Amino acid sequence: GERSYDVTIGAGVLDELGHWARLASRKGRRACLLVDDRLPGETLDRARGSLAATGFDVTTIPVHADETDKSLEQLQKVLVAIAESRLERGEPVVALGGGIVGDLAGFAAAVYRRGVPVLQCPTTLLAMVDASVGGKTGANLQAAGGLLKNLVGAFHQPKAVLADVSTLATLPQREFVSGLAECVKHGLLSAEFGDPGLFGWIAENADRILAKDPGVLTSLVTRNVAVKADVVSGDEREELPSSAGGRALLNLGHTFGHAIETLPGLSPDGDPANAPLTHGEAVSLGVVAASAASAFLGHLNSGEVAGIGALLARLGLPTRVSGLPSTGEVVDRMGHDKKTSHGVLRVILPVSGNRCRVQESPAPQAVEAGVAAIRQG
């Protein structure tokens, strides 16, 4: 429909940013570029240069990409900077960085002057295969019980997405591996969305993926984006009932994962210096927990559960974590998740055949089995 857009994937596509920005804003004079403040200068220069070459006066707005800074306070600072640049309606906001930058840029674009164009230029694997596609934007809230992820936001589809896999060459390995959790997640639901072989392909190409082979990375991102696009196009605003699945299926691993992601003392390897968990590490643990809960309910066999855990571990992702609070506290935190509906907990469970289902009010014993499966020690 009218909110459709192109996702361009490959090495070097960031140099096309100016072209796509001009298509989104034919008469625009200004562009605001939100950028991760840790991004290599060369990547920023490429983006700025491409925008300037097509006639844009570029305002760069650095963003500290941390979950605690993905806040309404930082959103206000971004909006003030955009306003001070005199960006007009129809002129673009561009996100250059990972999912946090993309979420904030999209949210700012959705509410500034009641909506301006946004272009997503993800530079992390996680953002390429997940956050940059689908139009979800948001910020976290700091509440008495801790950080509540993405509890405020808006649906605001980008005008274009440019996933330049060459930017992954400088991505820290831990961040790169974290993005693979979302790829495995897509593989576990892909059978009904056009790519039933994705999970097996990831397993077969694990070594080349970890070596960051550009051709394999292009295929990896392309196949993952295609799966997510197929899901989102059928349920843009996540409004289908649980029985139909829809966009809620993309939350596989996230209800468990979000409950532990913001706990400050958790580390993927037990070393406090590596705390807290990254989003992808939390999703990996959440997928393991969801698999164990599904097996408890009879939707997966023990071999399938072991296979999921083995692939995650082979990719360098955690499957257990030490220092978890009580099971009751984890379950209580799960109740704050956005997937909760009318006070009813909803979890996404993988089932046989690389499919998933939405489970409302899962048996408490199943949820407890999930938490037990990821508890180390």
Tell me the catalytic residues: 114, 136, 182, 228, 238, 247, 251, 254, 258, 279
Q: Which residues contact 86 (CB under 8 A, 6 or more apart)?
A: 30
The whole-angstrom separation of Cα 168 and Cα 124 is 6
Convert 13-51 to b/e letters by CB count within 10 Å (16 or more is b). Answer: bbeebbbbbbebbeebebbbbbbbeebeeebbebbbebb
Q: Bridge partners of 359?
A: 347
**CB-side neighbour CA atoms (13 Å) of 150:** 22
Handedness of CA 97, 103, 104, 105 (dihedral sign): positive
Other beta carbons within 10 Å of 277: 24
The residue written with tokens 């562009």 in the block is 31
Q: Which residues contact 41 (CB under 8 A, 6 or more apart)?
A: none
The whole-angstrom separation of Cα 370 and Cα 297 is 11
